[in-house]
Structure 1
Amino acid sequence: MPFHRSYYAVLLLAPLVLVAFWPGYFAIPRQVVFGVHAHALTAILWLVLLATQMWAIRARRGHLHRTLGLALFVFVPLFVAGGALAIQAMMTKALAGHPFYARFGPGLAAADALATPCFLALVAYAVARRRDVHAHGGAMLATAVLVLPPALGRVLPAVLPTMPSLHPFVPAFYAAQIVAVVVALVAARADRRQAGPFLLVAANVTLQAAAFALLSPSPAAMRAFRAATATPAAVVALTAIAVAAAVLWWAWRAGGGVRRRSPAVAYS
């Protein structure tokens, strides 16, 4: 089977995330707003949950896998809410004149706004197709690929050659998107039974790159940012939680209730 011991690959994202977000998050926790904390914490918990579930399948501990699977009904709505709050925090920084976000805020906000629904769609698909071990495993593993662009986009500026006419973040952003698309396409080709979710990720990341390229600071973008940041954070979070919970509940019902047999090894 392809993707043997893929939980190791997910765990290897941990040092990448640590290095990528150390300067702007881990090194300055007291300077970070609540929304960013919520996004970071739920993202880390999701990767831990994902790796543990993969290990449980590899170890043939189906009961543990199913029990941990129920935790996604808590983690996923919180992750979606954290993502929405992080986008709102990014918009607030752009409006305040933060040099980086004032320049790249519109494109990055659009990219993140595309990534979060893609993540939710993948998890919902995995829940709805939980009786199909290949579709379920592919969708769950594909969520990890969405971590690559934001992480690599922060690491690559230190290693890529600088271009006088470009901000170092720009080539790093596109290089990170390309890496994520290639990884998704390679995974899709490795096992066509699990290809759909990875092709969705490849398409979504391509759209993110296009949004980043097309959207630039403008009066219209700033008006949209002001409208979005005028909404109380609690309302944003609760709305995101409600939407994510509703989608997951629909997916659970579509999947036909509780699985009675231990799943076969779809990935590990």
Structure 2
Amino acid sequence: MSIYERFGNTREQIEKHNEAARSFIEKKSIIKATEEIEKSKNLLIELKNIARSHDEPEPTVSRLTSELEYLAIKIDELLSKREAGKKEGGNIAFKCNWNDKFYKEPCSLKAYEFNIHEGRAWCSSPLSKCREFIGEPTLDKHPCYESIALKEMYFGAGWDHTKDRVQPRHIHSAKVSRLAILTSRPPEAEEKDRLIIGCLYIKSVQDDHNEETKIYGDRTRSFEIDYNKIKVKFWDYYKNEGAEDLILWASGLFRYVSDGTVFSILKGIVKQYEHNGLDITKIDELIRHYEVLINKK
């Protein structure tokens, strides 16, 4: 089979799975739609590799990538509607790209290439200049959220990068004095093994119309987790509403999390900290804080 035939066959398979995903999304069948999207994602990686062998840009790859991102956004919208009850708590969880510098500086080339391979939107964007970044990242000047997340205790809602638009995302229900939980999936790990890498105690929420929502953590109450030592898995605690067996985080950068789930996560972190002889003072204070919040309901 020639390279052109391989390209055509792979493209047709992707289009078939994308169409099936659209149909399942219309029926609000999230699990089946997700299965089709995962098949498309794997085939799209293969298609990109074939296109590179042409040694020229391939518009078909860009089109299918945009289609896949659009479908993932639609699944996120369905999940978000089912999460309505969780918004009341004001807690959020972020999906962070992998950073092997403990989220305090730009990642290594190896981590960058992993994020590119995984199709991470900002890493893959021509607007991203992280490989050219010089100096120490700060709140005012940084190549990505991940390069300062646990240095500045800060994260943002991100931007939608689709074929027709680039626009800011907004978090309408994040609250001060609640937690923003940072999560990430290391290379070689499956989605079910997504780790919690830090927790920001929300000090302020900045939400300008023309920019993405920005979350600033209180440095005295926020904390980082050494992901090489402490393995707290996000999906051991968080469940998708209406599809509890579904382990999925599609295109969106954030999820709403209930007070009860945050409380359970903090208890799980304390358990591992105690087992490793680490200081639990800060986390213990947060547990007491959430006990008060839950008892008020």
Q: State the TM-score, normalized to the length of structure 1.
A: 0.29
Higher relative contact order (CA 8 A, sep 6+): 1
Greater strand share, structure number: 2
